[in-house]
Amino acid sequence: MLRTTTCGALTIKNLGENAVLCGWVQKSRDLGGMTFIDIRDRYGITQLVFNMDDNRELCEAARNLGREFVIKATGTVVERSNKNSKIPTGDIEIKITALEILNAAKLPPFLIDDETDGGDDLRMKYRYLDLRRNPVRNNMVLRHKMAQAVRRYLDAQDFIEVETPVLIKSTPEGARDFVVPSRMNAGEFYALPQSPQTFKQLLMVSGFDRYFQIVKCFRDEDLRADRQPEFTQIDCEMSFIEQEDILNTFEGLIRTLFKDIKGIDLPAVPRMQYADAMRLYGSDKPDTRFDMQFVELNHLVKDKGFPVFDQAELIIGINAKGCAGYTRKQVDELTDFIKRPQIGATGLIYCRHNEDGSLKSSVDKFFTEEDLQKWSAALNSQPGDLILIMAGGKDKVRKQLSELRLEMGNRLGLRDKNTFSALWVLDFPLLEWDEESGRYHAMHHPFTSPKPEDIALLDSQPGAVRANAYDLVINGTEVGGGSIRIHDKSLQALMLKHLGFSAEEAQKQFGFLMDAFEYGAPPHGGIAFGFDRLCSIFAGLDSIRDVIAFPKNNSGRDVMIDSPATIDDKQLAELNIKTTA
């Protein structure tokens, strides 16, 4: 080893010891007769001291060191006269007797420090330098610890980690596949897996009973803060179980992660039906760190002569506690917020519950004081509260009010990143109608089993069929989702039929799975957690990019290695591909 210890290990207990440290120059300070160098590695920082009176040549060499030079320093541990209580090594310094430059360095394009002057694009281009910074490196350490904790927990539960193929078959359901041309099979293509779904089900048919994998998955879709073209899942499957077994097993995993990684005793996770989540929060992933549930007001506000309410399918409101003092400008800001194209609302009705107990609304022309009292009672408003009301089509207005609720949560400081609220959302619809394609699509995927009592509705009311599906939500973010799977060939064929597959198409795409079901498939189910999302929540970050060592940007590019890139004509010819771009 080139070093005897690390830059974060030495303390006052090591006084008088000889030490050899290796690392990067964080900063230097020349005080004339003495020069101080901070040397850094991933474990910490140690101060090196060079004295002109002791060794002029060595001190001159130290003065010529630049930021991020890689050095090897040998010396004796001595007590610092000017101690630094902010770092573990702050009581000592190394009096240097030998210095070796292992590699000189160009001046970095941005400051490598906790608070950097580098913008996002610059730090992405020089990601290997950004990873030297404590906040970024700490995210990678957190990710490592979480992966190890996942493996320990699942191993203790008798799960077996199995790797599944990366080159698989493209399927038409779900997001776009990344495709890979086959040189040996001209005109044919592999796809990169969006998930190991069919393979983990085949492992259940194989008798593996309990499987997991921390696995890379790929989706060719537009990016946003919580999306990357390649991402990591904790993928799990179990045989001979019911939904309750899945929920208990993986609630245990999440609670163990909170305990082991953050020292938090997460309480038992409450459960909510999908229908209730949409009715009370307008979202299938509600942020339950704060209340502000929706209240339906149709029976109180219709037929009063106000056209917006009279013509609306649904009128709903929320109670923003303590916001009656909002100025007209603040209310206008909220109106502008919901009118943004991303939300698409046309307006906002409000009612102030003044401190003197009186009520004042933006539609007093149409509603009496008695009417407003009924609004207040329905929303349980108190003096000082502000009632916010929206109206429109049922599905649309719920989504719009959900966005406003989250905005109010932000404004009121109710979405603290150090507070955690988990929720199971159960019994999703099996199918959802897509206007563009004019047919039903699987809300989760084609292998999700319907509720047994709803199977008869598949032919007559497919939109009313509930799935044996469940999502785990933390702080308004879906971190995991799964279902009890179909394990019967005839039911799988029926499901694919309702998704618009002909018998021939179903056999071509999924025949291998349905054929496997004929050889004794056990009842099985599973779940997949977005590992990147989990890590970002534990780290208190908004974007999963910050917990991935080498992420892509919002255009799906790796600006560090300049990927994707063109390939030469010889490679294209070998793959029997011609480009038109």
DSSP secondary structure, 213-230, as one string? EEEEEE------TT--SE
Q: Is 447 annotated for ligand binding?
A: no
Q: Is 384 annotated for ligand binding?
A: no
538 neighbors 479 (Cβ within 8 angstroms): no
What one-letter code names the amino acid at 88? P
Give Rg (Cα) of the chain. Answer: 30
Residues 6+ apart with CB under 8 A from 364: none
Q: What is the phi/psi pair of residue 257, to 5°?
A: -60, -45
How far apart, in Å, do the first and last CA atoms of the chain sit? Answer: 52
Buried b (16+ CB within 10 A) or exposed e, 19-49: bbbbbbbbebeeeeeebbbbbbbbebbbbbb
Residues 6+ apart with CB under 8 A from 264: 258, 420
246 neighbors 159 (Cβ within 8 angstroms): no
Predicted local distance difference test score (pLDDT) of residue 226: 67
What is the CATH T-level fold of the domain 290-415, as seen in this structure? Gyrase A; domain 2 (3.30.1360)
Q: Is 306 annotated for ligand binding?
A: no
What is the CATH T-level fold of the domain 12-103, as seen in this structure? OB fold (Dihydrolipoamide Acetyltransferase, E2P) (2.40.50)
Distance of alpha carbon 344 from alpha carbon 403, whole angstroms: 11
Q: What is the phi/psi pair of residue 547, to 5°?
A: -115, 15
What is the value of pTM for the model shown? 0.92
What one-letter code names the amino acid at 15? L
Element holding 120 (H helix, E strand): helix 120-125
Nearest to 107 by CA among 129, 85, 83: 129
Q: Is 133 annotated for ligand binding?
A: no
User: CATH 3.30.930.10 spans which residues of the chain?
Assistant: 121-274+524-581
Q: Is 290 annotated for ligand binding?
A: no
Q: Is 187 annotated for ligand binding?
A: no
The answer, yes or no, to whether the previous bond of 523 is cis (omega within 30 of 0) is no
Distance of alpha carbon 134 from alpha carbon 294, whole angstroms: 42
Residue 291 C-beta-side C-alpha neighbours within 13 Å: 7
21 neighbors 60 (Cβ within 8 angstroms): no
Q: Is 439 annotated for ligand binding?
A: no
Residue 336 C-beta-side C-alpha neighbours within 13 Å: 6
User: CATH 3.30.1360.30 spans which residues of the chain?
Assistant: 290-415
What one-letter code names the amino acid at 331? V
- Can you read off the two tokens belonging to residue 555? 């255009």
Q: Is 114 annotated for ligand binding?
A: no
Nearest to 495 by CA among 437, 439, 455, 452: 455
Distance of alpha carbon 194 from alpha carbon 446, whole angstroms: 14
Q: How many CB atoms lie within 10 A of CB 230?
A: 16
The sheet carrying 230-239 orders its strands as: 160-161, 210-218, 230-239, 524-530, 477-484, 469-474, 422-426, 271-273
Distance of alpha carbon 558 from alpha carbon 552, whole angstroms: 5
- In CATH, the number for domain 121-274+524-581 is 3.30.930.10
Distance of alpha carbon 315 from alpha carbon 299, whole angstroms: 9
Nearest to 304 by CA among 368, 236, 378: 368
Distance of alpha carbon 333 from alpha carbon 404, whole angstroms: 11
Q: What is the phi/psi pair of residue 139, to 5°?
A: -65, -40
Q: Is 228 annotated for ligand binding?
A: yes
Element holding 479 (H helix, E strand): strand 477-484
Distance of alpha carbon 191 from alpha carbon 219, whole angstroms: 10
- Can you read off the two tokens belonging to residue 224? 């946003």
Residue 333 to residues 391, 404, 407, Cα–Cα distance (Å): 18, 11, 11
Q: Which residues pair with 481 in a beta bridge?
A: 471, 528
Hey, what's the torsion of the CAs at 439, 315, 293, 359, to 10 degrees?
Answer: 170
Q: Give me the tens of pLDDT residue by residue for the chain, a chain 581 residues long.
A: 999 999 999 999 999 999 999 999 999 999 888 999 999 999 999 999 999 988 999 999 999 999 999 999 999 999 999 999 999 999 999 999 999 999 999 999 999 999 988 898 999 999 999 999 999 999 999 999 999 999 999 999 999 999 999 999 987 666 789 999 999 998 899 999 999 999 999 999 999 999 999 999 999 987 665 689 999 999 999 999 999 999 999 999 999 999 999 999 999 999 999 999 999 999 999 999 999 999 999 999 999 999 999 999 999 999 999 999 999 999 999 999 999 999 999 999 999 999 999 999 999 999 999 999 999 999 999 999 999 999 999 999 999 999 999 999 999 999 999 999 999 999 999 988 777 777 778 888 889 999 999 888 888 888 888 999 999 999 999 999 999 999 999 989 888 888 888 889 888 889 999 999 999 999 999 999 999 999 999 999 988 999 999 999 988 999 999 999 999 989 998 898 888 86
Q: Is 405 annotated for ligand binding?
A: no
